[in-house]
Structure 1
Amino acid sequence: MESEKPTAIDLFCGAGGLSEGLVDAGFEIKWAIDNEEKVKPTFEANHKTNMVVGDIRKIDPPDLDLPEHGLELVAGGPPCPTFSLVGRSKINSLEGQNNIDDERHHLYQDFLRYVSHFEPKAFIMENVEGMMSAENKDGDPVVEIIKSQMEELGYKVNVQVLDAANFGVPQHRNRIFFIGNRLGRENPDMKKWRTHRPPKNEKEKKIKFKRNYKEKTNENQMTLNESAGIRTEEQLPVFKKNKTPKKPWTTVADAIFDLPPVSPDGEIPPTKAEKYEIGPVSEYQYWVRNIPEDTDWSDMPLWNHECRGHNMRDLTLYKLLGEGVSWIIGDIPEEHQPYRTDIFPDKLKKQNPRKPSSTIVAHLYKDGHMFIHPREARSITVREAARLQSFKDTFKFPVARTHAFKQVGNAVPPLLAQAIGTAIKKEVLKK
């Protein structure tokens, strides 16, 4: 009996940002794999799916307990290939092979090996934006090579670079997405699924307060205000093709300013906060807290909101980076520079509360200098980084802080994944 929900598998799943978004879009994740052991506790704490830790190159699709031709979607973000070595090899020739010792073998080919075997109705493959301009050692565009290999498998493919901020994520994050289907249908043009846009004026950069966070609105019901031409707020997220009007970008302030203050060392503020002190005040904060029906926000635990340690020099420099005035270390007088500005112009960066954050990166686990809190002399916490990636507060990272930062930085933002999943479900799968 066919599942009521479209089914998918998540390759190179990490903590599960892509899976989270696809589940929110209405998919059922049947299987997931990653070679990093530390992501398993996180994935399984937040998903019902059994996640396998292993080397995808050693696992052949026929060995899995999955229907060969029953999947609707194969999704994943394989690690970046060495672009110069990407060749025009036939993907079909990889079936049943383990090319671990072949230096020309790239993990994106294993992604396509799974596509070749399961023949899903559609696939999503995510990678870094730099692939768009990359060429191999023969001067051939890497994107065109990969796209042609996908087309050889019988898929209609388009390639798009998407900024997560245009889909409600409070972060600028440009990533390339290969979207393909074997049904002969047009793949969704994600520009038509954007929900957010750049602000038009200074007022739109301010925090967007939600007047009554318990009020649930129904976008299909027209209120007296709407009939008079005044639009009421829609509960996040609403992904519809050609949605109008679009909202201004979600900002850092929208995302994290309701979280209680924490400090590197001290009782007030504490180093770690485990409960909320105020209710959500912005539309995004209400959504991201994921408050269950008939539950008060004060009864919910707060996870992963702990400040890392900082030395006095860094804390002093953090204070010097003025909110709305100075954002990078190049603005600090030369005699106080801890780094060479010609090499590290952005080594210290305070995030602007009136804009989406800069791209959350995996090496945030090493230091937080690029992600200084807008109003507190410290780097951001795991929970704040997770919010900037659009992970809900109920998404736990039950691992050491360094691993949690890395997992957050490597993830596909769930809201962006939900937008793509919704578009594929509606336009390709017709569900």
Structure 2
Amino acid sequence: MKENDKEIYAVDLFCGAGGLTYGLEKSGISVKLGVDIDPACRYPIEANTKSKFICEDVASIDTSLIKREFEGCSYSVIAGCAPCQPFSTYSRSAKKKLKGNEDWRLVGHFGEIVNDVQPDVITMENVPPLTSKPIFKQFVKSLKGYSVDWKVVECQSIGLPQTRKRLVLVASKLGEIKIPEFNYRRKTVRSTLKNLTKLKAGEQDSKDNLHKACRLSEVNLERIQNSIPGGTWRDWPEHLRAKCHQKSSGATYPSVYGRMRWDSPSPTITTQCFGYGNGRFGHPDEDRAITLREAAMLQGFPKTYSFIPQEESVCFSKIGRLIGNAVPVTLGKVIGSLIRSHVSELTA
């Protein structure tokens, strides 16, 4: 299929900072619209992609806005990652108990939009625990007339330098669609971050406002100086150990205050990844936590991806949220390539 023979248009619901949108575009799919309730998502979407952005609640959006974006296309795609933050293993609220389907209602709203708009292809990305919830079974069952396949993808297998597992679902009205086994070249922290400017805690690269490291207290600076890549707080001298770690309950949290390994993938990047004490987010050999830029690159974003205007002050919590909640760009590109191959096979 020639590049311009068949136009594939997509709408990205719950688009966030644009990881999925950017990845789909890199695969050759034209993303016409990104929708998110967070106004902070407007700048990264409009600055880095060709997509328009509207700040709307997906739960109440007028679907005519979506249908309008598919006018003139050969094939239509609705993509999305319904927020599930309270139930992530890495969330601060991970201990909350699930109550029926109410906590997953945005997945239901995604399904309602799909059934109203009836796109040719659907893709949904989410956390693996969703597969055990009744709402997921209801969502799959509601896709009448679609060939459906889903798989929990270990993101290392698609070339993301990160240990991140994600549920990926694809569905097509055009014919059978399958998610293959992936075996891309494995990438590491070193291969991703090796050329960035060296920094100390609290410093910022003069040429990149996102390559900025959080300050460290004196005790945390001493702690990271006594940390080894892949090690834990158990490697520290006794006087550096936090009181909570000295209790029996603290033994269950060995991965906080850890350093990454150069020649391994990073741990799962979270919204709090810029903080040394929030996980194994210490730089492999510099005495600091990873920067926002490093976190974004470990999520597959290019070094040039802009999350805020250059003149805007960097807010770690705001940008950390955008990066940690993003669909990895690498995963978006793989999903887009799968959809394009599917369409190509049908039109060959």
Same fold (TM over 0.5): yes
| Residue in 2 that maps onto 1:273 | 205
C-alpha distance in 2 between matches for 1:417 and 1:104: 25
Q: When the two structures are superposed, what TM-score results if normalisation uses the length of structure 2?
A: 0.84
C-alpha distance in 2 between matches for 1:24 and 1:375: 33
Question: Which residue of the other structure, out of 314, 318, 324, is the alignment partner of 1:403?
Answer: 318
Alpha-carbon shift at residue 69 of structure 1 (Å): 9.3
Q: Provide the aligned C-alpha RMSD in A.
A: 2.4
Aligned ranges 1:183-198 → 2 under 5 Å: 183-185=174-176, 187-191=177-181, 193-196=182-185
Which amino acid is 1:360 matched to? I
Q: Is 2:76 the partner of 1:72?
A: yes
Q: Is 2:26 the partner of 1:35?
A: no
C-alpha distance in 1 between matches for 2:70 and 2:303: 34
TM-superposition CA deviations, 1:118-148 (whole Å, max 9, x none)? 211111101112223x345xxxxx5433322
Given that 2:272 and 2:278 are in contact with CA atoms closer than 8 Å, whether structure 1 keeps it comes out as no
Question: Which residue of the other structure, out of 287, 293, 298, is the alignment partner of 1:383?
Answer: 293
Given that 1:14 and 1:39 are in contact with CA atoms closer than 8 Å, whether structure 2 keeps it comes out as yes
Q: Is 2:327 the partner of 1:412?
A: yes
Which amino acid is 2:240 matched to? H
Question: Which residue of the other structure, out of 84, 92, 100, is the alignment partner of 1:85?
Answer: 100
Structure 1 residues 380 and 359, CA gap change in structure 2 (3 angstroms): same
Which amino acid is 1:72 matched to? S
Q: When the two structures are superposed, what TM-score results if normalisation uses the length of structure 1?
A: 0.69
Structure with the higher fraction of residues in strand conformation:
2
TM-superposition CA deviations, 1:282-318 (whole Å, max 9, x none)? xxxxxxxxxxxxxxxxxxxx45111111111111111
| Residue in 2 that maps onto 1:124 | 123
| Residue in 2 that maps onto 1:318 | 224
Q: Secondary structure at the match of 2:212?
A: coil
C-alpha distance in 1 between matches for 2:206 and 2:178: 41
| Residue in 2 that maps onto 1:111 | 110
Alpha-carbon shift at residue 365 of structure 1 (Å): 5.3
C-alpha distance in 1 between matches for 2:335 and 2:133: 27
Given that 1:12 and 1:32 are in contact with CA atoms closer than 8 Å, whether structure 2 keeps it comes out as yes
Which amino acid is 1:76 matched to? G
Alpha-carbon shift at residue 159 of structure 1 (Å): 1.2
| Residue in 2 that maps onto 1:58 | 60
C-alpha distance in 2 between matches for 1:304 and 1:3: 39
Aligned ranges 1:323-342 → 2 under 5 Å: 323=229, 326-338=230-242, 339-340=244-245, 341-342=250-251
C-alpha distance in 1 between matches for 2:50 and 2:5: 16
Aligned ranges 1:247-286 → 2 under 5 Å: 249-265=186-202, 271-275=203-207
Given that 2:275 and 2:289 are in contact with CA atoms closer than 8 Å, whether structure 1 keeps it comes out as no
Alpha-carbon shift at residue 350 of structure 1 (Å): 0.6
Alpha-carbon shift at residue 56 of structure 1 (Å): 1.4
Alpha-carbon shift at residue 427 of structure 1 (Å): 2.1
Given that 2:300 and 2:330 are in contact with CA atoms closer than 8 Å, whether structure 1 keeps it comes out as yes
Question: Which residue of the other structure, out of 240, 254, 257, is the alignment partner of 1:345?
Answer: 254
Given that 2:213 and 2:274 are in contact with CA atoms closer than 8 Å, whether structure 1 keeps it comes out as no
Alpha-carbon shift at residue 321 of structure 1 (Å): 1.1
Flag structure 1 segments of 5+ consecutive residues without an equivalent. Answer: 87-102, 137-141, 197-248, 266-270, 276-301
Q: Secondary structure at the match of 2:204?
A: coil
C-alpha distance in 2 between matches for 1:190 and 1:158: 10
C-alpha distance in 2 between matches for 1:303 and 1:3: 41
| Residue in 1 that maps onto 2:93 | none
Structure with the higher fraction of residues in helix conformation:
2
| Residue in 1 that maps onto 2:159 | 168
Which amino acid is 1:111 matched to? F
Structure 1 residues 69 and 144, CA gap change in structure 2 (3 angstroms): farther
Alpha-carbon shift at residue 386 of structure 1 (Å): 0.9
Structure 1 or 2, whichever has the larger Rg, is 1
Given that 1:188 and 1:424 are in contact with CA atoms closer than 8 Å, whether structure 2 keeps it comes out as no
C-alpha distance in 1 between matches for 2:70 and 2:189: 43
C-alpha distance in 1 between matches for 2:113 and 2:297: 32
